[in-house]
Amino acid sequence: MSNSTTTTDGPPRTGQSRLGRGLNALFDSKTTGRAAISAAAGAPREGAGLKHIDIDRIQSNPFQPRCDFDEAALQELVTSLKTHGVLQPLLVRPHGDGYQLVAGERRLRAARAAGLAKVPCFVRSMEDREVNEAALEENIKREDLNVLEKAEAFRRYLDTFGGTINDLARRLSMTRSNVNNILRLLELSEPVKDALRNDRISYGHARCLLALDATGQKRALAAIERDDLSVRATEALVRRL
């Protein structure tokens, strides 16, 4: 397998994305401040850009990078919402006759499961690129987001909006090498990607296997799972294959 650096050609970067300043940059500081005070006293109240929207009018974010949600953690959130309601507003944008979620997928899912009719939301007009970036910002640095989901989200962003790995790294406040290493996981054979997606091997194991072709990856994966090899032991195995 080639060890060449992955590159993506695209239009030059123009201007500083709000993503680089964090998801809070999408909110007006006065608005979020008032909402925080309101939330501290209970459920957020309407006003200062905050609306309570019928939950059936909110579509999920099509750019959501997370495919799997921890059911136990989600159920805990459902229980909390039944008692306290949604204390942290969602971020949505106008879409068709309703709204489309920008940030707050877990809260939206839990609110639906809890049977809530309305949820507090900030409404912002945003382009597709901004919606995708907000979804990345909300999810990409969470430790429980599988690294392969990150890789797929990175590739989907670059394929959809263009730009280079350097651009994406700057937007996510990550190093270029980190973004590139994650993207290279998509070069792995399907059995290895399946093992990584289902936490049967770690990110470190997967990076070791990139040095092998598909046949070598299959042999190494079998050894890792059979003998419960550490990353260091896997590195030694790869050198022998």
What torsion do the CA atoms of 232, 235, 237, 239 make, to the nearest 10 degrees? -140
Q: Please pick, among 71, 105, 149, 152, the residue that the annotation labels catalytic.
A: 105
Query: Residue 218 carries which side chain, given as an amino acid letter?
Result: K
138 as an active site residue: the answer is no
Q: How many CA atoms lie within 13 A of 58 on its CB side?
A: 29
Give the separation between CA 5 and CA 184, rounded to whole angstroms: 8
Q: Which residues are catalytic?
A: 105
